[in-house]
Amino acid sequence: MTSPQPVGRIRFMDQQRVNLDGFAVEDPELGLTAMRSPRDPDPSLVVKDGRVVELDGVPEAEFDSIDTYIARHGLDLAVAAEVMGLTDVAFARLLVDPAVPRAEIIRLSAGATPAKLARVLALLRPPELGLAMTKLRARRTPSNQAHVTNRLDDPLLLAADAATAAAFGFREVETTVPVLADAPSNAVACLIGAAFGADGVLIQCSVEEALELELGMRGLTSYAETVSLYGTEQVFTDGDDTPWSKAFLTSAYASRGMKMRVSSGAGAEVLMAGARGQSMLYLEARCVALARAIGAQGVQNGGIDGASVAAAVPSGLRELMSENVMVMMRNLESCSGNDALMSESDMRRTSRTLPIVLAGSDFVFSGFGSIQRYDNMFGPSNFNAEDIDDFLAMQRDWGIDGGLRTVAPARIGELRREAAQACRAVYAHLGLADFSDEHVDLAVDAAGSKDLGETDTLAVLSAAHAIRQRGLTVVDIVAALDECGYVDMAERTMAFTRARLTGDYLQTSAIFDSQLRVLSLVTDPNDYAGPGTGYAPTPERQREIDAIRQARGVEDLRAVQARSAVAMLAPVGPARPGQGPRDVVIGVSPAVGRDVWRCLSGLAVTGVLREMLAGLEEEGCTGRIVRFNDSVDLGRIGLAAARLAGSGIGIGLQGKGTALIHRRDLAPLANLELYSVAPSVTPELYRLLGANAARHAKGGTPDPARNPYSDEAIEARYHTTVIALMELERRRMDAAAPPEELSLEGLT
């Protein structure tokens, strides 16, 4: 017998998107283990005559280049004995004890070996990691970084998208290229665009080191973060660098006034088959210790390109967050990953990112894809343009600052146009390229580069070539902006160029705020010491977080409803009891015909009434419409309608579309039929309700309607509208006002 097909329940589960992800069997020999491997060394540090002679189980004679650099430059030997003498548990508890200040953790961590920090962090449970992150990050104010790229390296789209990213609140914009030679053009386009979106946004163009340095030296970019470190000597060498070459490069960037952080993270060694059977956390601990040793101000880690490798093994996400916290313990800026799509499952990728958003980091993402997935030339980020509204809602849901803000849609349109036009003007003025009006229009409106149609990519290449060959600098861009009439942007860019020269932004965790103030470890130190301390959004910032563009109040709804008002349902006099046995009353709620004109389903209230009346007529009954002003409760409205009707049968209809059939001898809540899911009720169902009411009136057999069912989040969609609609009803309620008969004109 062949193996039977799994049952339907399993086949159904197999189809869910999470099952597109790869999950690896834990295998320490391959380095496929997150927090700890049998091959990880026990922490040790032996110091003789002020010299490290053993580091994490390795004697000095056997130090590889990474051990050597850390041993000679990376450790504060004055505290080594003290911290290495602490038990792992004792140290781990200090991380989450609000009474122990950040400075004390920083002091101790400076003398701890890589293996020691790995062991200590492996003890923290996820909420403890979150608390440690909140306390230990260097900068008090959390922030965020965006990727701004596109498939075509289209400058106008880059400018529009950089302006958009800056307006949304990203304080760093990182671009890169599908075509290396386009890099200078991308840098210029992002520089111009971001200036329109906000003041003081740092720009990076991630390319090979020589070109990246060159762009920085000319003031076209202002930071770098792709200087990679690895946890084993073999992989480091395969990456064509050594700790000394990286240390030198770090100084080279600083010598040209550029902010720089290094990049590392779990999984890189595994992917390069060089993990030596050691855990991701231990190998990353070596990278982070080395980052501190070579004098980098910060680290981009948390998996980065290897994030999905970490995510494939048990406790992988915990490992990624531990890496970030380790950076903070080393007193460095954390740019906390979340920049690679680590799952096909929306739930898993949210699960990966949310704890860091909640805890707050120097940069929550080391590249939130501010453009669409397909335009992200780093590869899709864990969150992308598809997710910006989700992220804004998450900030608001939890009342936390993830660095982003809502921008009015009209403002986004203006900024994109200004940025694209300025970019075109500067390119034309400098003789780099000419772009058409139509191209500007397309770039302004584009949700992504696919909306641009065919573009002249050779023109971009030629512009980039000219920027490089002519040695254009930020001064040329400033002059061009000025001469093209963008004086404010020229001033803004010049002010930023001056601010860079103070060097303040070379300090740990530095960003510029929108007033060009530097926020860093030095100027904005994290002072978290438990509840009531540390960063909290200012009231103004909190309002910015809370005011997402989708939020609606009662007055918004009133305006929407007013747009649907029609000259119908006029009162024609007091409602009187009916006489005929086929008289059925449709009772409506107080705001119907006044403030409420459209049901949750989108149907006009008059259309619903028309269907009900038609249903009644089909079955030989006549309907009247009576507005009850003394109650918003549908059961009471329906019952009161039944009591006025000659047949003793009434229909109740709330303006939002909920409807029922009632009979005069029943209790208010005991109706005959109820359409409770107002958003899903169709015209056909309202007609059936009318017909069934008539059948009840005649003593016949009704054909009970089935409430429509849906797997959608009906409540999430409609509850706020229901609350507002009910408030409009309540405001029209008057306990003393008698019921009124409404005109049937236009309804029959």
Partner 1 sequence: MTEIRGLSGQSAGGTVPGGTVVSEIRGLSGKPVADLTLEAVRAGEVSLADLRIHPETLERQAVVAQEHGNPQLADNLRRAAELTQLPDDDVLGIYEALRPGRSTAAELTVLAESLADRGLPRCAALVAEAAEVYARRGLTA
Q: Which of 56, 153, 154, 174 is catalytic?
A: 174
Are the CB atoms for 162 and 190 separated by under 8 Å?
A: yes
> Is residue 372 annotated as part of the catalytic site, yes or no?
no
CB of 510 to partner 1, least distance (A): 10
Which of the following is catalytic: 264, 361, 366, 561? 366
Write down the least CB distance from residue 181 to partner 1, Å. 18
User: 508: Cβ–Cβ under 8 A, 6 or more apart, which residues?
Assistant: 138, 139, 297, 298, 331, 332, 333, 520, 521, 522
Angle (deg, nearest 10), helices 409-429 and 437-445: 150
Instruction: State which residue, 270 or 506, has the beta carbon closest to partner 1.
Output: 506
Smallest distance, partner 1 to C-beta of residue 139, A: 12
The question of whether 300 is a catalytic residue gets the answer: yes
- Is 346 designated active site? no
As measured in angstroms, the least distance from the Cβ of 266 to partner 1 is: 23
* CB closer to partner 1 out of 173 and 227: 227
Nearer to partner 1, 68 or 720 (CB): 68
How far does CA 272 lie from the centroid of its chain?
31
Give the integer Cα–Cα distance in Å for 243 and 267: 19
Out of 278, 300, 334, 421, the active site residue is 300
Q: Which residues contact 421 (CB under 8 A, 6 or more apart)?
A: 440
| Minimum distance from residue 364 beta carbon to partner 1 (Å) | 23
- The nearest distance, CB 654 to partner 1, in angstroms, is 55
**Residue whose CB is less far from partner 1, 21 or 504:** 504
* Active-site residue (options: 172, 212, 225, 319): 225
Token pair, residue 90, equals 């004792």
CA 571 and chain centroid, separation: 50
- H or E element at residue 653: strand 649-653
For partner 1, give the closer residue by CB, 76 or 727: 76
Using an 8 Å Cβ cutoff, are 394 and 354 in contact?
A: yes
Only one residue has tokens 């990278």, namely 287
Cα–Cα separations (whole angstroms), residue 573 to 577, 625, 675: 13, 11, 29
What the block records as the tokens of 671 is 């109706």
Of the pair 61, 458, the CB lying nearest partner 1 is at 61
Residue among 145, 334, 381, 509 flagged as catalytic? 145
**Tokens 């949750």 sit at which residue?**
600
Contact between 233 and 271 (Cβ < 8 Å): no
Q: Which of 40, 153, 305, 339 is catalytic?
A: 339
User: Nearer to partner 1 by C-beta: 200 or 648?
Assistant: 200
Q: Which is nearer to partner 1, 191 or 400 (CB)?
A: 191
Is 438 marked active-site?
no
Concerning whether 204 is annotated as a catalytic residue, the answer is no
Our CB check for partner 1 shows the closer of 445 and 483 to be: 483
Q: How far is the CB of 503 from partner 1 (least distance, A)?
A: 4
Cα angle 164, 165, 171; round to 5: 140
Burial of 351 per CB tally in 10 Å (0-12, 13-18, 19+): middle
Give the HSE-up count for residue 368: Cα atoms under 13 Å, Cβ half-sphere. Answer: 33
CB of 507 to partner 1, least distance (A): 6
d(CA 342, CA 380): 9
Q: Which is nearer to partner 1, 78 or 737 (CB)?
A: 78
* Residue 300 CB burial class (10 angstroms; 0-12, 13-18, ≥19): buried
Nearer to partner 1, 249 or 377 (CB): 249
Nearest approach, Cβ of 283 to partner 1 (angstroms)?
A: 18
Scan for tokens 């700790």, then name that residue: 243
Residue 744: count of CB within 10 angstroms of its CB: 18
Quickly list H helices, 602-748: 605-618, 634-644, 683-698, 714-732
Helices (H), 430-504: 437-445, 457-469, 474-483, 487-501
Residue 429 bears catalytic tag? no
Which sign, positive or negative, has the C-alpha torsion 336, 152, 469, 210?
positive
Q: Residue 334 Cβ, how far from partner 1 at the closest point, in Å?
A: 14
The two three-digit tokens of residue 337, written as one number:
């990953």
Least Cβ distance, residue 270 to partner 1 (angstroms): 21
Is residue 339 part of the annotated active site? The answer reads yes
Residue from 115, 64, 127, 71 nearest 281 by CA: 115
How many other β-carbons are positioned within 10 Å of the β-carbon of residue 560? 14
In the 8-state DSSP scheme, what is residue 64?
-
Q: Catalytic residues, which ones? A: 145, 147, 174, 225, 300, 339, 366
